[in-house]
Every structure is written in structure tokens, then in C-alpha cells.
């Protein structure tokens, strides 16, 4: 099995976090997303402990809540004592509604509107991650009028060559995010931040990309950022307290991909980063990481009911399910690989090659191609694994398909986390 929270019981049904998924599909209906609560808590604890042990108190993880945003996950983050990365007022609002202490929220985004700035400051968001000079000036002018001060980090683009690390695009100089070191704009915005009376500069942020299995991009980014911090200290006298290295550690979606030991990865990162800091002569700031995918992806699976199964003679077979790109647009967008299992016959031999497709009126509505399953029939339950990150968060109502229900599973016990969307929910905004 792909992950250790999966198994097969005596009925031949797939089990997830100790529960029979076919039973849960019957109880809650499909499509259905299940979330393994203990797995999320465990991974959070691993990050939290590893950051503190290797970088000291004041170094901690922020959950990148764009990966999975709903009230329950912010409650869990609050209980585990971690911070959150938010990218919109919608996320901040949801965190607040869940009772999350917004002092531990970091507010990202390359285009915060004046209304966003006002909302976040009024609601006590702890730290802004300021993207660019326009935003910095807008924030300062709002703060000056409101008579308030605000902690910020500056988002810097370290300029890592995307040709070396193909998956990495967000940290390159030509990016919609941040200010580049290479062009001198990172220094410029730092000097500006230091000159503004209502801005309290706490340090710097960078993010190199997502679904990364190698530590080199992180240590390379850290090296560049530490050199920048040392340069700024030498030239302005300002010492950064915080270096946020963003998110991006990878998750195993399919066989052949590694399982990362996040504690070991952080330990290795720390060894390299401390060495580099000593060589550069830069005091080590507190290190923050912003994991999204790695905290929730493999703690989620999605269940579907099989509908039509058809074979186009001489071509291939299609298995249609009662969800698709509305609840999981990642294959349509990125050709993202997933492991698909026939959950209601999980112990049967797999010999039926097919494409698993959704129910939308669009050929691109594919969940996965070239899948081999036991031959499914109408009514079987199919599971797509590793759907906890960027699935529910990116779900839509395309073709007026309601979003699935989400259920917590905790060592065999299930509780509703998000109720299934109704047709009434979908039309409630319409006048």
C-alpha cells in the first residue's frame, strides 16, 4: 500500500485510518473526501519538533492553508500550536471564524487590495509578508492613518535557476512574486521598509516551489538569503530576526516516488544552513517553514461510485465516476499523477487497464489515465489516494456539481467535517 494508514480488511474493502471506506461511502454518500486526523497531527508535530530541535525556540512551521482551507483545519492548527500562512481575506476570515489566534497568521499574496490590508490590520493579523514596493507604501499609508504599527517580512526572490530544478518556478527572478536580489530591488525594498515609521521589519521570506524531494533547492535558497541578510546587516546595520524558507517538501502520490522523512530532511537542512551561516558570518535567524502539501496530502483520500464502464473496441476503456474535475482539477491542470484503487474489491487481481474519468461535459475531465484495476462494475467504490492537498481547496461547481462532503477519520471513528454541498447552496447567491 502507498501509505501506512491504508489496508484491506476481511471483506476485501480498502481501509483508511482504521475505517472501512465502503461503509463510509454508504454512510455519507460519494464523492466523499476522508481526512486522517492523526496523520495530520503527527506530521505537524514532526515539523514542529524538528524545527525547534534543530534551529531552536522561535523556529516553527506555518500551515500553508491554501492547500486545505476550512474551519476544522484551523482549529486543529490552533490545537497543535502552529502558525498559518494565509493568502486572502477569505482564508483569514475562515481562520478567525474557527477561533484561530490571528497573531500567528502570516498574510501572503502579490496583490493585497486596500480592503485586504484594512481587514488584516483591523483583525490583528500578526505578520504581513509584503510582496512589493507598491504594497509596502499602501500598507504604510493605511497604518499611518490608523495610527498603528505592523510586523512584516519581505518576500524576496532568491533567483534560483529554474533550469536546474525544473519543478521550481516561484523563486526565479522573472516571477510575479517578490523582489529580486539580482536586480537590486530586494535591497531597495529593504531600505524603504527600514525608513517607514509604521513598518516593523522582522525579516525575509522566500519560497522556491512545490512537490520537491531534494534538499538542495532549500539549502541553496537559504545560502542566498543568508548572504543577502549579511549584506544588509553590513550596509544598513539591520539584523533580520526571521528567515521564512516557504513550503514545498514533496509527498508520495505514486509508487516510485520517495517517502520523505521530514524530521531527517529538516535535520539535514539545519546542518547545511548552520555551516553556511557560520561561513558567511551571519547570525542564524529563526527559521520558519510553510508546509502545505506535506501536512495534508497523504492524509486525504477521495471516494467515488463507479457509473458507466465502457470499452471502445480497439482503443481503450473508460471508467466514469460520480466526481471528477470539479472536486479534483489537478490532472486537468497539471497531469498530476495519482494512485487509484478499487476500494470495494481491494484484494481482487488488477488486470483491467482504463482511464478513470469524471462526469463533466468536457473531455479533459480525467482523474487518471493508464490505470490498472480489478474490472469495476456500476456501484463499485473507487478511491483516489493522496487527495488531501489542493483538491477540496481547488474544487469548483463546474457543471453545477456540488462539492463533496469531507469526513474526519480518527483511528476508525468518523465525524463530519464539511457537509455535502446542496443544489440549494449552489443557487443561494442568485437573485
Site for ligand LLP in 165-184 (CB under 6 A): 170
CB of 222 to ligand LLP, least distance (A): 15
Pick the catalytic residue from 69, 282, 360, 361.
361
| Residue count (the chain) | 431
* CB nearer ligand LLP, residue 189 or residue 342: 189
Is 361 a catalytic site residue? yes
SS3 (DSSP) at 289 = strand
Handedness of CA 130, 109, 185, 162 (dihedral sign): positive
Cell of 53: 530541535
What 8-state DSSP symbol labels residue 113?
Answer: -
**CA 5 – CA 300 distance, rounded (Å):** 10
Handedness of CA 283, 286, 292, 295 (dihedral sign): positive
Q: Does 328 bind ligand LLP (CB under 6 A)?
A: no
Q: Does 67 bind ligand LLP (CB under 6 A)?
A: yes
CB of 143 to ligand LLP, least distance (A): 23
Instruction: Find the binder of ligand LLP among 158, 292, 300, 326 (CB under 6 A).
Output: 292
Handedness of CA 276, 269, 176, 149 (dihedral sign): negative
Instruction: Find the binder of ligand LLP among 13, 276, 293, 375 (CB under 6 A).
Output: 293
Q: Does 290 bind ligand LLP (CB under 6 A)?
A: yes
* CB nearer ligand LLP, residue 22 or residue 389: 389
* CB nearer ligand LLP, residue 100 or residue 253: 253
For residue 121, report the phi and psi dihedrals to the nearest 5 degrees. Answer: -70, -45
Helices of type H across 14-157: 21-28, 37-55, 71-80, 89-97, 114-122, 133-146
Site for ligand LLP in 3-62 (CB under 6 A): none
Instruction: Find the binder of ligand LLP among 109, 248, 285, 376 (CB under 6 A).
Output: 248
Asked if residues 173 and 229 have their Cβ atoms less than 8 Å apart, the reply is: no
CB of 62 to ligand LLP, least distance (A): 8
Q: How far is CA 175 from CA 146, 160, 211, 251, in A?
A: 32, 11, 18, 25
CB of 288 to ligand LLP, least distance (A): 10
CB of 86 to ligand LLP, least distance (A): 10
Cell of 209: 516551489
Stretch that binds ligand LLP, among 178-186, 240-248, 279-287, 343-351 (CB under 6 A): 240-248
- 235 exposed, middle or buried (CB, 10 Å; 0-12, 13-18, 19+)? exposed
Site for ligand LLP in 343-402 (CB under 6 A): 390
Stretch that binds ligand LLP, among 142-150, 194-202, 243-251, 345-353 (CB under 6 A): 243-251
Q: How many residues bind ligand LLP (CB under 6 A)?
A: 17
Instruction: Find the binder of ligand LLP among 61, 83, 246, 300 (CB under 6 A).
Output: 246
* CB nearer ligand LLP, residue 268 or residue 414: 268
- 308 exposed, middle or buried (CB, 10 Å; 0-12, 13-18, 19+)? exposed
CB of 328 to ligand LLP, least distance (A): 10
**CA 126 – CA 246 distance, rounded (Å):** 17
Closest CA to 288 of 181, 228, 203: 203
Site for ligand LLP in 93-152 (CB under 6 A): 108
Residues serving a catalytic function are 361
Residues near ligand LLP (CB under 6 A) are 64, 67, 85, 108, 170, 207, 210, 246-248, 290-294, 330, 390
Amino acid at each position: 500500500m502507498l501509505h501506512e494508514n491504508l489496508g484491506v480488511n476481511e471483506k476485501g474493502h480498502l481501509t483508511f485510518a482504521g475505517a472501512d471506506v465502503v461503509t463510509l461511502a454508504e454512510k455519507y454518500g460519494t464523492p466523499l473526501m476522508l481526512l486522517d486526523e492523526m496523520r495530520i497531527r503527527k506530521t505537524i508535530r514532526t515539523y514542529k519538533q524538528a524545527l525547534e530541535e534543530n534551529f531552536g525556540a522561535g523556529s516553527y512551521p506555518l500551515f500553508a492553508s491554501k492547500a486545505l482551507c476550512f474551519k476544522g483545519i484551523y482549529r486543529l492548527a490552533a490545537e497543535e500550536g502552529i502558525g498559518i500562512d494565509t493568502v486572502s481575506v477569505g482564508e483569514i476570515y475562515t481562520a478567525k471564524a474557527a477561533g484561530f489566534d490571528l497573531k500567528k497568521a502570516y498574510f501572503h499574496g502579490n496583490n493585497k487590495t486596500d480592503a485586504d490590508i484594512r481587514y488584516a490590520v483591523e483583525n490583528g493579523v500578526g505578520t504581513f509578508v509584503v510582496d512589493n514596493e507598491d504594497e509596502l507604501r499602501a500598507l504604510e499609508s493605511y497604518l499611518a492613518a490608523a495610527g498603528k504599527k505592523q510586523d512584516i517580512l519581505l518576500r524576496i526572490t532568491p533567483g534560483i535557476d529554474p533550469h536546474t530544478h525544473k519543478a521550481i518556478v516561484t523563486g526565479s527572478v522573472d516571477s510575479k512574486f517578490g523582489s529580486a536580489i539580482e536586480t537590486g530591488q530586494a535591497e531597495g525594498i529593504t531600505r524603504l521598509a527600514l525608513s517607514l515609521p509604521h513598518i516593523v521589519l522582522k525579516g525575509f521570506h522566500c519560497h522556491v516551489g512545490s512537490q520537491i524531494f531534494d534538499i538542495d533547492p532549500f539549502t541553496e535558497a537559504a545560502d542566498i538569503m543568508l548572504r543577502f541578510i549579511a549584506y544588509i546587516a553590513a550596509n544598513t546595520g539591520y539584523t533580520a530576526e526571521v528567515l521564512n524558507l516557504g513550503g514545498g517538501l514533496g509527498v508520495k502520490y505514486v509508487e516510485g516516488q520517495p517517502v520523505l522523512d521530514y524530521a531527517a530532511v529538516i535535520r539535514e537542512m539545519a546542518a547545511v544552513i548552520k555551516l553556511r551561516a557560520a561561513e558567511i558570518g551571519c547570525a542564524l535567524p529563526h527559521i520558519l517553514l510553510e508546509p502545505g502539501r506535506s501536512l495534508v496530502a497523504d492524509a486525504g483520500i477521495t471516494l467515488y461510485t463507479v457509473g458507466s464502464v465502457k470499452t471502445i473496441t480497439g482503443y481503450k476503456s473508460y471508467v466514469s465516476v460520480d466526481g471528477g474535475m470539479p472536486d479534483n482539477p489537478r490532472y486537468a491542470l497539471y497531469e498530476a499523477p495519482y494512485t487509484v484503487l478499487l476500494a470495494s474489491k481491494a484484494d481482487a487481481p488488477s488486470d483491467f487497464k482504463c482511464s478513470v474519468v469524471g462526469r463533466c461535459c468536457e473531455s479533459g475531465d480525467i482523474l487518471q489515465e493508464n490505470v490498472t484495476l480489478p474490472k469495476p462494475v456500476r456501484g463499485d467504490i473507487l478511491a483516489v489516494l493522496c487527495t488531501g492537498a489542493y483538491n477540496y481547496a481547488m474544487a469548483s461547481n463546474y457543471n453545477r456539481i456540488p462539492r463533496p462532503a469531507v469526513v474526519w477519520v480518527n483511528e476508525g471513528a468518523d465525524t463530519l467535517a464539511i457537509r455535502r454541498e446542496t443544489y440549494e447552496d449552489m443557487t443561494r447567491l442568485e437573485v
